[in-house]
Structure 1
Amino acid sequence: MSAATCLLSQEDLLCSICLDVFCAPVTLLCGHNFCKNCITVNWRVNRKIQCPVCKKRFDTSHELHVNTFISEVAGQLRQSAAKNASEEAKPGEVPCDACTDIKLKALKSCLVCLASYCDTHLKRHLTVPGLKRHKLVEPLDNVEDRTCTKHDEIMELFCKTDQMCVCQFCTESHHKTHDVVSLKEECTGKKTELGKKEVEFQQMIQERQQKIEELGQSAKLSKEAADKEAADGVEVFTGLTELVQTGLTELIEQIQNKHKTTENQAKDFIKELDQEISELMKRIAEVKLSGSKDHFHFLQSFLALNAALPVKDWTGVSVHQPSYEGTVARAVAQIKETLNSVREKQPAAELKRVQQFAVDVTLDPDTAHPKLILSDDGKQVEHGDVQQNLPDHAKRFSYCVIVLARQSFSSGRFYYEVEVEGKTKWDLGVVSESATRKGQIISSPEAGYWTLQLRNADEYVALADPDVLLSLKSRPQKVGVFVDYEEDLVSFYNAHTADIIYSFTACSFTEKLHPFFSPCVNDGGENSAPLRIAVVHGHFI
């Protein structure tokens, strides 16, 4: 039967109606073959008992019998096709190098031929005497790459010393004294290492995803802040533009009104003069007519002419020229006054803006100098005369009467307010986490301190190295501290008047920052008032 199969091609076993391999094939008297079901349906649909190929007719008594030979051959063809489909090399499997059409799955690889073979193409290696001596191994992908170029042997070992794959003969020559293990052992170790790496990579991915979210949120907040600031700027400058335009309109109108008054006065004078000129010309005409020989009529006309002459003296008459001196200056002064009024409102808006970054700050007793007394809620600190017996660890200030907040900040913006009413001296600000806390401390940005201080009740100094003596409009009762970490900015505000007291710029922050408080010594009760961390309300008085 296999010999018969070889004589028939797949095309010979296809039904011309369904174009598929015969299923229960029948042979008509004309010699053409069809699937039994296909020809039966064809006759029933067309109502003609004839061959669809040659059109030969048959009588209705023609019986259809399955051709067992063709049926068996067609069955074998279907089985072969199904077997080839099941043996086709799938992704990850080694394909046969000898297959030219569909690549079947390889069963063995030959280390001499440096190729892999499926069941069909492997038969020659199992039957031909010369090929039977070839070394066959389990299927290997890219056999040539796995073969040692020096010894033509499969590389089944790994040299850990040189970090390379080697064959058995290599371990007896160049790698004789090296640390050599099997590929499986090395792969097992590497897979374990890879597993740890995978966990590490997953952690790195998670960290980066969190950072992406953080950066996205920062960008979103930045855009919102930028949009708001731009909107505020548009509102302010639109108002200023309208203010200037209104001032200009009023100035032009004022100048034009003055000019109009002068112009109207001149027009009135000119009109009156025109009338007098007309009257005089009329009199000239009458004088010429009065040259009559009638002496009586002449004398009467002369007397009437003298009586009707204009008597107004125009010598001292002139148009009053309006003064434009100072008109523009007064208009500019008015605009400046309005601008000053607008500018006075800006600090309140600015303080309100930074107050939205208010944070809840509490004092850290582990950092407090032993003479400082903290409230139970961690919101108030004052200087006491008695030094408490407290452990002197690295976090605590040992010489200067200072305490830090529990909270620290290494990004973003934050704001808090401190009540300083009744005090004659104090220090406030922020300090870097690694700044010196032991012994005498000289506050300066170089030392990690960005602070403002009060001395002698009215001397305000920014410790900027060199120190900056400040002149304030009013004595603050509550001080606001604002930090923008990314912008390297520390600003102090009078929280009642909304005036900015001082700003440290270009601070170059590199580590965590802690809010900094020093009530200073009480000076025998003169400076006994405490520093109190206030609740930020956002209202101004």
Structure 2
Amino acid sequence: MALASSLAQLQAEASCPICLDYLRDAVTRLGTTPCYPCIQQCWKCLHDIFPCPVCLQPCPDKGIRRNTQLCLMIDCVRNLPNTEDMRKWQKEKPPCEKHRHVLSLFCEKDPELLCPQCRVSSDHRGHPLAPMEQAAPSPRRRIKAHIEPLTKQLEDHFLGMEHDLVHVRLLNEEKRVQDKIIEEKNQISNHGPTLQSLLDEITEKCLQPDLDLLIDIERIHSTYENLESPAGFSYDLKEEVFTLPQQYFGLHKMIGTFHVDLTFNPETAHHSLIISQDRKMATFRGMEPNCVLNPEAFTSHLEVLSSEGFDAGRHFWQVKEKGLGEWSLGMCKETFPRNAPSSPSPSNGCWRIQLWGTTHGIRNSGYTCWIGVFLDYELGEVSFYNLNDRSHLYTFSDIFTERLMPYFSIGPSSKSLTISLVEDEC
């Protein structure tokens, strides 16, 4: 295991931090060691400042050079076996180095893989042991929960790195413009005394007697005719393209694969909610205590369920909100009580997040909040995404054992707030 881990670490260190492939023509004079083609691409259009794309430490010039010794080492790493080859090699020798038996048990206290003879040794006597196939699901769930936050961190890293490179390019462009402005300002400053001197000379000449007036008159005419004013400075802003990393589009792929089309179930809607004819929109209209109540409708809170429910698989849907006030969305059990006075929570079978509509005032007028919900039933996760900026909001983790229904709610203090179920628009 240690050899395979060291091998994997060595192969990772031999990779370019930009393209993530094995280094090609590794270069030096930087805080990190990228490929020569990658660093040239990152420094394209830069003039004065050449930062390292990873640590952002400035390089004094473009004088990077190929590290021959390091390139030879990378070629050696390429020829090493990968971790899969190492696993096959490890399976050919006795797994348990102490007893030479096949590893088939897992000690949940230590934790450690054991062979049948290990279980009776003094080191693990009395410890909770389980067969490997029974012990694996729980650790698998735990490590799989790290995928999403690590993916988000990687996206943020690439976005931050791209943002810093754009910032450096803008600083270079700003310096060039400032230098040009200073040059034009000096020309304008010098032109003022020239104009004043010529004006004084012409004014004095006009007051002279005829003889003196005619002397050197042609030079004054020539000076005036050939007088040139400094050219005005103009600058066209260049469009700066912000390139998103490939990881940023993972959400787009997830939506395209698992998107489902939902509708509201008017039979479950609180009497203060108006459900549109196509059952795609729920609008808060205010309290109407004298209306006829449906036995399946919510009565304690302004809530409504989807007509569709799920008891397996992965599903993604999108919701838009417009208006002012509090609202929430998520999942609840099909048996979730319709008249419970307590607030919905995971303890009573409802996994939801609360949001606040801010479409009031001139500044936010017309703003629409766009939220995505992703259910992984077998993994036991409900995740929420802000689709306005493609950011992850929150993930609930639990064990689902019964049918789940998409859940929506509007706060009692809301004003003209509308929730809409939308098709795939991402």
State if a TM-score over 0.5 links the two structures.
no
* Higher RCO (C-alpha 8 Å, min separation 6): 2
Larger proportion of strand? 2
Larger proportion of helix? 1
Q: TM-score with structure 2 length normalisation?
A: 0.43
**Which structure has the larger Rg over C-alpha atoms?**
1
Q: TM-score with structure 1 length normalisation?
A: 0.35
